[in-house]
Each structure stands twice: as structure tokens, then as C-alpha cells.
């Protein structure tokens, strides 16, 4: 479901959970919310947020600021917000040419207050669970993504150099 802020300066996609009365298609085991938002340059998104949820803002692309203090953020950064009932995200007036707007994922949920153990890509509750995950990964028990076979001519086979010559 695609939503817009009241001034149309931001577009939102609720991926999971419930945000301001809009429910995303994703199912979760614990109370949480996940939103993908695109904020236009100079626009501000004030997203209603459950005060009992924590909130994180991950910047997929672009530049801007987050929170009531306007902490600057840019591509690849994560902002951890404090308590409150609104998540504020602002798009910088000027964006890089390759990223015309600020794209963020806003994620949060009710704290589950469980222990955390992590190493590499694995986040579990105990060190033993992390070690078991590495063992399972090494043994191929975490599944695989099968390769897809490309039929017909190789992609870009007809690409030629600037002079129109066929590559050797």
C-alpha cells in the first residue's frame, strides 16, 4: 500500500506492522513496524509512532536529518532514536544527482528484552546458538539460492565498441 504525507512531500510503504492505522502485508512474531519512506528534498515527514516502540532509521540513499534535533544522516547510516510518539525525517534541500530523494527504512518494535549474541551475519540469543548457526551454514543446512540458467545468446552479446568493431 502506497501512502503519502499530508503535503505529499513523502511517500510511505508500510511493509509490516501497523503505522497510524495502516497495516502492512508482512507478518511478525513480535509487535513491530517497518516502513519504507521516500522523502522529497526539503520535505519533512512526521510519522506517528507508538511510544512503547523503539525506532531506527536506516538510510538507503540520499541525505537528510532525523529526530527532533535534526541529526544529519546519509546513505548507509543508521540512526537510533530515543523515546517519543513521532519519527521525524527531513530530506536535505540538495541531493546527489544519482539519488533525487532521501530513501529510508524506519524500523521499530516493542523491546523483547532478550540477551543478544552476535558474530558476522548471525544474531542469536546465546554464544552457543551463534556457533550452531555457523556450523549449520558450513554444512549447507541454511538453504541455497539456485542459479538461474540464461537461455539464448549471452546478455549484451551484440554490444560493439565505439568504432562499431566487434570485440575479439
Which distant-in-sequence residues (6+ apart) come within 8 Å of 32 by Cβ?
16, 17, 53, 107, 108, 109, 110
Position 30 confidence tier, pLDDT thresholds 50, 70, 90: confident
Position 41 confidence tier, pLDDT thresholds 50, 70, 90: very high
The pLDDT, as a whole number, for residue 154 is 62
The pLDDT, as a whole number, for residue 168 is 55
* Sequence ranges of the domains in the chain: 2-109, 113-142
Q: Which helix (H) or strand (E) holds 81?
A: strand 78-81
pLDDT per residue as tens digits for the range 109-144: 998 888 999 998 899 999 999 999 999 999 989 887
Q: Return the CATH fold of 2-109.
A: Jelly Rolls (2.60.120)
Amino acid at each position: 500500500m502506497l501512502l503519502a504525507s499530508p503535503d505529499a512531500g513523502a511517500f510511505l510503504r508500510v511493509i509490516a506492522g501497523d503505522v497510524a492505522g495502516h497495516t502492512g502485508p508482512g507478518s511478525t512474531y513480535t509487535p513491530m513496524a517497518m516502513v519504507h519512506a521516500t522523502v522529497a528534498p526539503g520535505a519533512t515527514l512526521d510519522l506517528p509512532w507508538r511510544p512503547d516502540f523503539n525506532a531506527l532509521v536506516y538510510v538507503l540513499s540520499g541525505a537528510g536529518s532525523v529526530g527532533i534535533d535534526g541529526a544529519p544522516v546519509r546513505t548507509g547510516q543508521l540512526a537510533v532514536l530515543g523515546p517519543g510518539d513521532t519519527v521525524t525525517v527531513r530530506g536535505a534541500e540538495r541531493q546527489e544527482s544519482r539519488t533525487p530523494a532521501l530513501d529510508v527504512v524506519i524500523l521499530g518494535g516493542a523491546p523483547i528484552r532478550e540477551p543478544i549474541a552476535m558474530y558476522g551475519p548471525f544474531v542469536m540469543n546465546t554464544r552457543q546458538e551463534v556457533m550452531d548457526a555457523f556450523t549449520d551454514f558450513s554444512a549447507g543446512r541454511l538453504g541455497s539460492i539456485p542459479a538461474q540458467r540464461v537461455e539464448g545468446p549471452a546478455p549484451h552479446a551484440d554490444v560493439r565498441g565505439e568504432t562499431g568493431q566487434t570485440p575479439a
